[in-house]
């Protein structure tokens, strides 16, 4: 029995819808298959379903045989035809590359002033730490390649099934934890699906029955399934190959009795040293016990950097092969602000670090009183100290430190985390939740700022020699009204729920603002005609190109506010790539050229009577805040960790008067 239909699931049967589809199929006792282009796969295997790469609007056939075949077909066809069924339900899931501050690359070699061996890496998460070294260099697992005797096969199958059950049970325990972030939960859930999938387990059992030992069979089967994922023309599915390897590794470790090789045993305050740390290890790691992180791989925007920053763990990444020097270290001191790692520090260095750690703890405790402070300038004007965030998950951390709204909501995460473009509904839900959380304070949502350096599924980027000077931010959005209008419509809908403001990135000419305004009006008219509740919002621009600075007086007449993006403004004014460590010295916001661009912008904004704010990293620097306030800035937006210190700085300025 079979029935064909056109798939209406948004963006097709990617991971989440595939999992739901399989769950539904498994509820029936009939054998169920999904057929596309003549290829049939079991509807009870999410790996096989994903590999079928079913896209939205493609024709498929559901085939079932068994006692409840009619019901199965009905339910599964119903799922495929219901366009809402595939809508992403992860609105608000957070943590992201996009949420990270600008990658601040640092030189890769440093000489130590006092002769102590000092390694230089990327300063990926601020703070200092000193503690026992915890080296985490899991060895590559190799199969013994043993041939089984015929009477060993059943026992080996049992051993394998036991290992799978134990890995699944451990993943279930991880998923049951309350403190798991939505992002990490998604990662672990995807791994558990793979561990439970008979594409992998079936292949392993086949190899064991042919006489392979279980470990060798798992390695071979995982490599084969991973190769299938690597071969699909879809970079989201390509990334699932790593997941398959990760699951295979976990099963092998249990088989080898080595499953205790994990971060769970890390001592309190230890410095975790690794070449790289996988998502699975991270999701299980007792982050509260980790004093600091040092890795050979990674940079300021890698997964580990983002997690370290959001948990306040100092981190130095990107050490390369130099990390091997730490394998046998017994104590390590790290400076996450400077990117320094000191191996087995001497007495004086230990004392120095202990002092700095203590001072940092005292500063944190002392700053708490600034949570509820509303900083004002000497003339009584309120200075908004707001948060830069990129996901709903970060709301709590921002509120905890007393953020006066959001000065930069980076929307890239919503687009980068998924293998498909986020729907209007999903975006509207996310922006509405944000607006509600901070009302009556404002929430400034930045429209999609993405380019060829960070491609995302669903947008074809050209190969560019200089992606930072290419088709990014507002340039791409205006060329893709299908994507841009979806975001603008979502923002208009969310504006009903709070104080939403919208800001455009990478502006270099006035026409970009006027064209956007026309699109906003078009969207508002459409929503009105459709009877969908919506409200207007203030439209502002980021000032982050030299062109925007030079036309600031004219631009100020067109928009409701400016927000200075010092990360990009510095790289464009100084013509120094913000990711290139060899020109890191030039990439300095305090260079007179950059400070003068900031001043010109502030003067133009103040003269036109619009709000001038700043959302680049410099906004959180206590040494620069007084200068920015004197220039006329009335809003500073920064990572939540800097908010209380910034409020203190502004309060001290007012007290001096």
> Nearer to ligand PEP by C-beta: 17 or 473?
473
* 56 closest CA partner among 530, 430, 458: 458
Distance of closest approach, residue 367 Cβ to ligand PEP, in angstroms = 23
Of 303-311, 426-434, 547-555, 565-573, the segment contacting ligand PEP by CB under 6 A is: 565-573
d(CA 46, CA 14): 9
d(CA 312, CA 363): 14
Residue 302 interacts with which of ligand PEP, Mg ion, none, CB < 5 to 8 Å by class:
none
Site string for ligand PEP, 49-88 (x = CB under 6 A): ----------------------------------------
Of 10, 136, 303, 340, the catalytic one is: 303
Distance of closest approach, residue 599 Cβ to Mg ion, in angstroms = 19
* 451 lies in the binding site for Mg ion (CB under 5 A): no
Q: Computed from CA positions of residues 243, 248, 254, 256, in that sequence, does the dihedral angle turn out positive or negative? A: negative
In this chain, which of 126, 384, 544, 635 binds ligand PEP, going by CB under 6 A? 544
CB atoms within 10 A of CB 207: 20
How many contiguous H segments (helices) and E segments (strands) does the chain have? 23, 20
* 156 lies in the binding site for ligand PEP (CB under 6 A): no
66: left (phi over 0), alpha (psi -120 to 50) or beta: left
Active site residue 534: no
Size of the site for ligand PEP (CB under 6 A): 11
Count of CA atoms in the C-beta half-sphere (13 A) of 55: 12
Distances (CA, A) of 442 to 9, 434, 438, 531: 35, 10, 7, 26
Instruction: For residue 32, give every residue at least 6 positions away whose Cβ sits within 8 Å of its Cβ, in sequence order, or none.
Output: 25, 42, 43, 44, 62, 63, 64, 72, 76
Distance of closest approach, residue 498 Cβ to ligand PEP, in angstroms = 22
Distance of closest approach, residue 617 Cβ to ligand PEP, in angstroms = 7
d(CA 513, CA 404): 27
* 309 lies in the binding site for ligand PEP (CB under 6 A): no
In this chain, which of 375, 452, 540, 565 binds ligand PEP, going by CB under 6 A? 565
Of 278-286, 483-491, 544-552, 619-627, the segment contacting Mg ion by CB under 5 A is: 544-552
Of 34-42, 407-415, 566-574, 598-606, the segment contacting Mg ion by CB under 5 A is: 566-574
In this chain, which of 102, 218, 221, 406 binds ligand PEP, going by CB under 6 A? 102
> Nearer to ligand PEP by C-beta: 492 or 564?
564
Of 211-219, 275-283, 562-570, 598-606, the segment contacting Mg ion by CB under 5 A is: 562-570
Is the separation of the CB atoms in 452 and 471 below 8 Å?
Answer: yes
Distance of closest approach, residue 36 Cβ to ligand PEP, in angstroms = 39
3-class SS of residue 220: helix
* 565 lies in the binding site for Mg ion (CB under 5 A): yes
The enclosing H or E element of 95 equals none
> Nearer to Mg ion by C-beta: 60 or 542?
542
* 624 closest CA partner among 610, 638, 611, 605: 638
| Binding to ligand PEP in span 592-621, by CB under 6 A | 615-616
Three-class SS of 503-564: EECCCCCHHHHHHHHHHHHHHHHHHHHHCCCCCCCEEEEEECCHHHHHCHHHHHCCCCEEEE
* 103 lies in the binding site for Mg ion (CB under 5 A): no
Chain centroid to CA 281? 17
Site string for ligand PEP, 382-421 (x = CB under 6 A): --------------------------x-x-----------
> Could you please report the per-residue DSSP string of 304-368?
HHHHHHHTT--EEE--GGGGGGGTT-SEEEEETTTTEEEES--HHHHHHHHHHHHHHHHHHHHHG
d(CA 306, CA 382): 31
* 642 lies in the binding site for ligand PEP (CB under 6 A): no
> Nearer to Mg ion by C-beta: 203 or 588?
588
d(CA 618, CA 647): 14
Distances (CA, A) of 368 to 83, 358, 399, 407: 48, 16, 12, 21
d(CA 431, CA 442): 12
Of 299-307, 323-331, 424-432, 563-571, the segment contacting ligand PEP by CB under 6 A is: 563-571
> Nearer to ligand PEP by C-beta: 240 or 446?
446
- Class of residue 276 by CB neighbours under 10 A (exposed 0-12, middle 13-18, buried 19+): middle
Active site residue 615: yes
Distance of closest approach, residue 100 Cβ to ligand PEP, in angstroms = 8
* 566 lies in the binding site for ligand PEP (CB under 6 A): yes
CB atoms within 10 A of CB 546: 15
Distance of closest approach, residue 566 Cβ to ligand PEP, in angstroms = 5
* 395 closest CA partner among 344, 439, 456: 439
Distance of closest approach, residue 228 Cβ to ligand PEP, in angstroms = 36
* 131 lies in the binding site for Mg ion (CB under 5 A): no
Of 295, 477, 523, 615, the catalytic one is: 615
Size of the site for Mg ion (CB under 5 A): 3
Residue 451 interacts with which of ligand PEP, Mg ion, none, CB < 5 to 8 Å by class:
none
In this chain, which of 93, 193, 197, 568 binds Mg ion, going by CB under 5 A? 568
Per the listing, tokens 């036109």 go with 608
Q: What angle do CA 585, 589, 591 make, to 5 degrees?
A: 70
Distance of closest approach, residue 540 Cβ to ligand PEP, in angstroms = 13
Distance of closest approach, residue 615 Cβ to ligand PEP, in angstroms = 5
* 298 lies in the binding site for ligand PEP (CB under 6 A): no
In this chain, which of 568, 595, 635, 641 binds ligand PEP, going by CB under 6 A? 568
CB atoms within 10 A of CB 511: 10
> Nearer to Mg ion by C-beta: 296 or 620?
620
Residue 615 interacts with which of Mg ion, ligand PEP, none, CB < 5 to 8 Å by class:
ligand PEP
Distance of closest approach, residue 548 Cβ to ligand PEP, in angstroms = 11
d(CA 224, CA 47): 12
* 208 lies in the binding site for ligand PEP (CB under 6 A): no
Residues that bind Mg ion (CB under 5 A): 544, 565, 568
Residues that bind ligand PEP (CB under 6 A): 102, 408, 410, 449, 544, 565-568, 615-616
Q: Which residues belong to the active site? A: 303, 615
């Amino acid at each position: 029995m079979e029935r064909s239909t056109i798939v209406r699931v948004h963006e097709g049967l990617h991971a989440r819808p595939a999992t739901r589809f399989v769950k539904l199929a498994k509820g029936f006792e009939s054998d169920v298959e999904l057929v596309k282009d003549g290829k049939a796969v079991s509807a009870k295997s999410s790996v096989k379903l994903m590999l079928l790469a079913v896209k939205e609007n493609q024709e498929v056939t559901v085939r079932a045989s068994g006692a409840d075949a009619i019901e199965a077909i009905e339910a599964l066809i119903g799922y495929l035809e219901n366009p809402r069924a595939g809508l992403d339900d992860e609105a608000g899931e957070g943590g992201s590359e996009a949420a990270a501050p600008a990658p601040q690359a640092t030189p890769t070699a440093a000489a130590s002033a006092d002769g102590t061996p000092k390694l230089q890496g990327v300063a990926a998460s601020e703070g200092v730490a000193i503690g026992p070294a915890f080296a985490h260099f899991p060895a590559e697992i190799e199969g013994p390649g043993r041939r089984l005797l015929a009477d060993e096969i059943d026992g080996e199958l049992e051993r394998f099934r036991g290992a799978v059950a134990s890995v699944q049970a451990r993943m279930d325990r991880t998923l049951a934890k309350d403190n798991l972030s939505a992002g990490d939960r998604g990662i672990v859930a995807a791994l558990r699906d793979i561990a439970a999938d008979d594409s992998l387990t079936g292949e392993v059992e086949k190899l064991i029955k042919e006489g392979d030992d279980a470990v060798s069979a798992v390695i071979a089967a995982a490599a084969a399934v991973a190769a299938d994922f690597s071969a699909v023309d879809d970079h989201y599915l390509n990334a699932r190959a790593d997941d398959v390897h990760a699951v295979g590794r976990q099963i092998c470790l249990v088989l080898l009795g080595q499953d205790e090789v994990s971060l769970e045993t890390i001592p309190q305050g230890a410095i975790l040293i690794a070449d790289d740390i996988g998502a699975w290890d991270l999701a299980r790691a007792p982050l509260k016990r980790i004093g600091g992180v040092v890795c050979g791989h990674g940079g300021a925007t890698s997964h580990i950097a983002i997690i370290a920053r959001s948990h306040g763990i100092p981190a130095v990444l990107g050490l390369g092969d130099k990390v091997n020097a730490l394998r046998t270290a017994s104590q390590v001191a790290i400076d996450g602000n400077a990117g320094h790692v000191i191996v087995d520090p001497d007495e004086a260095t230990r004392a120095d670090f202990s002092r700095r750690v203590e001072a940092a703890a005292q500063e944190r405790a002392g700053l708490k009183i600034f949570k509820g402070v509303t900083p004002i300038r000497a003339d009584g004007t309120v200075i908004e100290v707001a948060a830069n965030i990129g996901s709903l998950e970060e709301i709590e951390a921002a509120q905890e430190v007393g953020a006066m709204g959001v000065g930069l909501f980076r929307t890239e995460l919503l687009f980068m985390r998924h293998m498909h473009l986020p729907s209007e509904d999903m975006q509207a839900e996310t922006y509405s939740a944000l607006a509600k959380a901070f009302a009556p304070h404002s929430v400034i949502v930045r429209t999609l700022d993405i380019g060829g350096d960070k491609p995302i599924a669903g947008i074809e980027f050209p190969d560019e020699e200089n992606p930072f000077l290419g088709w990014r931010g507002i340039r791409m959005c205006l060329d893709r009204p299908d994507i841009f209008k979806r975001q603008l419509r979502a923002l208009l809908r969310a504006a009903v729920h709070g104080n939403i403001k919208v800001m455009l990135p990478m502006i270099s000419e006035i026409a970009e603002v006027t064209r956007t305004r026309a699109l906003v009006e078009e969207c508002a008219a459409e929503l009105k005609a459709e009877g969908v509740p919506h409200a207007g919002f203030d439209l502002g621009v980021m000032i982050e190109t030299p062109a925007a600075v030079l036309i600031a007086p004219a631009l100020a007449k067109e928009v409701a506010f400016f927000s200075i993006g010092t990360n990009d403004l510095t790289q464009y004014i100084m013509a120094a790539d913000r990711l290139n460590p060899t020109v890191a010295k030039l990439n300095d916001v305090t260079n007179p050229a950059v400070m003068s661009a900031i001043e010109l912008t502030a003067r133009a904004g103040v003269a036109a009577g619009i709000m001038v704010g700043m959302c680049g990293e410099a906004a959180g620097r206590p040494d620069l805040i007084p200068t920015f306030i004197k220039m006329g800035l009335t809003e500073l937006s920064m990572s939540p960790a800097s908010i209380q210190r910034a409020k203190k700085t502004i309060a001290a300025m007012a007290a001096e008067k």
